[in-house]
A and B are shown apart, each in its own frame.
Chain A
Amino acid sequence: SYELTQPPSVSVSPGQTARITCSGDALPKQYAYWYQQKPGQAPVLVIYKDSERPSGIPERFSGSSSGTTVTLTISGVQAEDEADYYCQSADSRATYGVFGGGTKLTVL
């Protein structure tokens, strides 16, 4: 079945820029979405349709897409951004959804 690939971990210092990638063959055809999950909490949508930001999500969160890779960028990372981040999309025919394996963002 279809898979999305993320790096297991990313580390940045406060104030720096964090970039988390997600790769998948169907990403040129299907939008990608990003979720933030903190320990003991349900996931929260932070980016939809590759680069749109839901209301209430800080402007430092942005998304982009290029070919088979999408990227979540967090500019001016804050300690509160430390969390697991998951990309999500659908297979090429939009029959079912799939999550990437998740990336643990550590704020040093």
Chain B
Amino acid sequence: EVQLVQSGAEVKKPGESLKISCKGSGYSFTTYWIGWVRQMPGKGLEWMGIIYPGDSDTRYSPSFQGQVTISADKSISTAYLQWSSLKASDTAMYYCARRDLSNYYMDVWGKGTTVTVSS
């Protein structure tokens, strides 16, 4: 079974750093893009960026460029989303999802990681 397993919920303070993870299984991790999607409380989905674990090629939405870092460790089939200095406005649910090989749709989704940033 193809699945993406995300790390657990996080509660952090403003200014702290954070790295959340997404582990793929049941398919060839290095040959599909992995994307990250933000959903702030009560709001819509926002496309953040994607990474191709095979060569670490990474693309960001202009809205998130410079705000987060997406990375991957293909040796353990895991993608990451990280912040160097969290803000309260980073409070959201973050989903990872597998992107189709040839098109931009996400066909397999993780269950999401809740990030709460509060002093």
Binding site for B on A (CB under 8 A): 1, 30-31, 33, 35, 37, 42-45, 48-49, 54, 84, 86, 88-90, 94-102
30 A–B contacts from the bound complex (CB under 8 Å): A1-B62, A30-B104, A31-B104, A33-B103, A35-B106, A42-B95, A42-B112, A43-B106, A45-B107, A48-B107, A49-B103, A49-B105, A54-B107, A84-B44, A88-B45, A88-B47, A88-B106, A89-B104, A96-B50, A96-B60, A96-B61, A96-B62, A97-B35, A97-B47, A97-B61, A97-B104, A99-B37, A99-B45, A102-B44, A102-B45
CA distance A99 to B104 in the complex (A): 11
Contact of A86 among B45, B60, B103, B104 (CB under 8 A): B45
By secondary structure, the B interface counts as strand
B49 adjacent to A96 (CB under 8 Å): yes
B111 within 8 A of A: yes
B105 adjacent to A88 (CB under 8 Å): yes
CA distance A102 to B63 in the complex (A): 18
Q: How large is the interface on B (under 10, 10 to 19, 20 to 34, 35 or more residues)?
A: 20 to 34
Across-interface contacts of B95 in A (CB, < 8 A): 42-43
A95 adjacent to B104 (CB under 8 Å): no
With both beta carbons as reference points, the residue of chain A lying nearest to B46 in the complex is identified as A99
